[in-house]
Amino acid sequence: MIPVTVIGGYLGSGKTTLVNHLLRNANGVRLAVLVNEFGELAIDEDLIEAQADDVISIAGGCVCCSFGNDLTAALGNMAMMDPPPDHVLIESSGVAIPSSIVNSLVFMPAFRADGIVVLVDAETVQRSASDKYMGDTVTRQIADADIILLNKVDLAKAGALEATRAWLHIQNYAVRVVESIHGVVPPEIVLESFLVRARAGGKHIEPSHLDVMTIMPTGPVDARVLARALSDLSVGLVRAKGFVTQLDGTKALIQVVGRRFDVTDAKAEKADGIVCLGFKGLMSRETLEALV
Amino acid sequence: MTLTGIPSMTATTIFSAKKIITMNPSQPEVSHVAVREGRILGAGDLASLEAWGEYTLDDRFEDKILLPGFVEGHAHTMEGTLWRYVYCGFFDRMDPQGKSWGGLKSIDSVLDRLKDAEAKMVDPEEPLSGWALDPIYMGNRRVTRQDLDSVSSMRPIGVLHASGHILNVNSKALELAGLFKEGINHPGMPLGDDGIPTGELYGPETMTPVGVHVGFNRSLTDSDEKGLRDFGKLCVRTGVTTVTDLAARLEDSGVEAMLRVTGESTFPARVVPLKFFMGATAKETVDRALELKGKATDMCRLGRIKAIADGSIQGFSARMRWPGYHNGAPNGLWYTAPEQLEDLYRIALNANVQVHTHTNGDEATEMVLDTLGSVLKDVPHPDHRFTLQHCQLADAAQFRRMKALDMCVNLFANHHFYWGDEHYRLTVGPERALRMNACRTAIDTGVPMAIHSDAPVTPLGPLFTAWAAVNRITASGRTQGEREKIKVAEALKAITIGAAYTLHMDDEVGSIEVGKKADFAVLEDDPTQMSVEAIKDARVWGTVQGGRVFPAASL
Ligand SMILES: [Zn+2]
A66's CB contacts (< 8 A; 6+ apart) are A34, A35, A36, A37, A38, A42, A54, A74, B279, B280
Helix (H) or strand (E) holding B465: helix B462-471
CA dihedral B525, B529, B535, B539 (to 10 degrees): 0
Shared domain check, B183 and B145: yes
pLDDT category of residue A208 using cuts at 50, 70 and 90? low
d(CA B28, CA B549): 23
- The pLDDT value given to residue B2: 40
CB contact under 8 A, B178 and A109: yes
Select from B211, B231, B261 the last residue of a domain: B211
DSSP SS3 for B162? coil
Q: How far is B281 from chain A (nearest CA, A)?
A: 6
At B98, the amino acid letter reads G
CB contact under 8 A, A95 and B333: yes
pLDDT category of residue A155 using cuts at 50, 70 and 90? confident
pLDDT at A281 exceeding the cut of 50: yes
CB contact under 8 A, A72 and B178: no
Asked if B500 and B506 touch (Cβ cutoff 8 Å), the reply is yes
Q: Is residue A203 domain-resident?
A: no
Residue B247 C-alpha to ligand 1 middle, in angstroms? Answer: 7
d(CA A155, CA A178): 15
Q: How many residues does chain A have?
A: 292
Shared domain check, B496 and B392: yes
Select from A158, A191, A224 the last residue of a domain: A191
B430's CB contacts (< 8 A; 6+ apart) are B424
Structural domain of B26: 1-69+511-555
pLDDT category of residue A66 using cuts at 50, 70 and 90? confident
Shared domain check, A239 and A154: no
Q: Which of A38, A72, A103 sits opposite B209 (nearest CB)?
A: A72
Shared domain check, A154 and A22: yes
Which residues from chain A sit within 8 angstroms of residue B337, using beta carbons? 10-11, 93-95, 134
CB contact under 8 A, B337 and A72: no
Shared domain check, B152 and B280: no
Shared domain check, B100 and B203: yes
DSSP SS3 for A12? coil
d(CA B91, CA B365): 31
pLDDT in tens, chain B (555 residues): 344 544 456 799 999 999 999 999 999 999 999 999 999 999 999 999 999 999 999 999 999 999 999 999 999 999 999 999 999 999 999 999 999 999 999 999 999 999 999 999 999 999 999 999 988 888 778 899 999 999 999 999 999 998 888 899 999 999 999 899 988 888 889 999 999 999 999 887 788 889 989 988 756 656 789 999 999 999 999 999 999 999 888 889 899 999 999 999 999 999 999 999 988 899 999 999 999 999 999 999 999 999 999 999 988 899 999 999 999 999 999 999 999 999 999 999 999 999 999 999 999 999 999 999 999 999 999 999 999 999 999 999 999 999 999 999 999 999 999 999 999 999 999 999 999 999 999 999 999 999 999 999 999 999 999 999 999 999 999 999 999 999 999 999 999 999 999 999 999 999 999 999 999 999 999 999 999 999 999 999 999 999 999 999 999
Q: Is residue B149 domain-resident?
A: yes
Spatial CA neighbour of B70 closest among B521, B548, B435, B375: B521
Shared domain check, A94 and A35: yes
- The pLDDT value given to residue B12: 97
Select from A139, A156, A191 the last residue of a domain: A191
Q: Is residue A200 domain-resident?
A: no
Which residues from chain A sit within 8 angstroms of residue B280, using beta carbons? 37-38, 66, 68
d(CA B469, CA B485): 6
d(CA B498, CA B450): 5
Per the structure, the count of domains in chain B is 3
B343's CB contacts (< 8 A; 6+ apart) are B281, B282, B283
Residue A58 C-alpha to ligand 1 middle, in angstroms? Answer: 38
Per the structure, the count of domains in chain A is 2
Shared domain check, A44 and A185: yes
CATH number (domain holding residue B92): 3.10.310.70
A137 in contact with chain B, both atoms CB, cutoff 8 A? yes
Which residues from chain B sit within 8 angstroms of residue A66, using beta carbons? 279-280
B35 in contact with chain A, both atoms CB, cutoff 8 A? no
DSSP SS3 for A146? coil
B333 in contact with chain A, both atoms CB, cutoff 8 A? yes
Give the count of alpha carbons within 13 A of B144, CB side only. 10
Q: What is the DSSP letter of B196?
A: S
A257's CB contacts (< 8 A; 6+ apart) are A114, A115, A146, A147, A192, A238, A239
Shared domain check, A103 and A20: yes
CB contact under 8 A, B333 and A97: yes
Shared domain check, A163 and A276: no
Which residues from chain A sit within 8 angstroms of residue B249, using beta carbons? 68
Q: Is residue A25 domain-resident?
A: yes
CATH number (domain holding residue B20): 2.30.40.10
Rg (CA), chain B: 23
**C-alpha distance from residue B343 to each of A25, A130, B107, B363, B499 (Å):** 32, 22, 47, 19, 26
Q: If you average pLDDT over residues A257-278, what whole number do you get? A: 90
Alpha helices in chain A (DSSP H): 15-24, 71-79, 98-104, 125-129, 135-144, 158-171, 187-190, 192-201, 223-230, 285-291
Shared domain check, B402 and B288: yes
Which residues from chain A sit within 8 angstroms of residue B210, using beta carbons? 107
Asked if B152 and B172 touch (Cβ cutoff 8 Å), the reply is yes
Residue B452 C-alpha to ligand 1 middle, in angstroms? Answer: 9
**Cα-flanking dihedrals φ and ψ of residue B272, to 5°?**
-120, 90
**ipTM score:** 0.84
Which residues from chain B sit within 8 angstroms of residue A137, using beta carbons? 333-334
Shared domain check, A119 and A176: yes
Q: Which of A11, A67, A106 sits opposite B186 (nearest CB)?
A: A106
CB contact under 8 A, B340 and A11: yes
Spatial CA neighbour of B218 closest among A7, A264, A68: A68
pLDDT at A39 exceeding the cut of 80: no
Asked if A277 and A189 touch (Cβ cutoff 8 Å), the reply is yes
Shared domain check, B519 and B496: no
Which residue on chain A is closest to B208 by alpha carbon? A72
d(CA B1, CA B549): 11
CATH number (domain holding residue A158): 3.40.50.300
Shared domain check, A241 and A96: no
Which residue on chain B is closest to A136 by alpha carbon? B331
CATH number (domain holding residue A259): 3.30.1220.10
**Stated pTM of the model:** 0.91
Q: Is residue B79 domain-resident?
A: no
Q: Is residue B77 domain-resident?
A: no
CATH number (domain holding residue B414): 3.20.20.140
CB contact under 8 A, B218 and A73: yes
Axis crossing angle, helix A135-144 with helix A158-171, rounded to the nearest 10 = 80
β-strand pairing of A62-66 with A31-35: parallel
- The pLDDT value given to residue B399: 98
DSSP SS3 for B245? strand
Structural domain of A245: 208-291
CB within 8 Å of chain A, chain B residues 481-540: none
d(CA B424, CA B83): 31
pLDDT category of residue A5 using cuts at 50, 70 and 90? very high
At B465, the amino acid letter reads T
B154 in contact with chain A, both atoms CB, cutoff 8 A? no
B128: left (phi over 0), alpha (psi -120 to 50) or beta: beta
Asked if B301 and B270 touch (Cβ cutoff 8 Å), the reply is yes
CA dihedral B493, B495, B500, B501 (to 10 degrees): 50
Shared domain check, A36 and A178: yes
Which residues from chain B sit within 8 angstroms of residue A43, using beta carbons? none
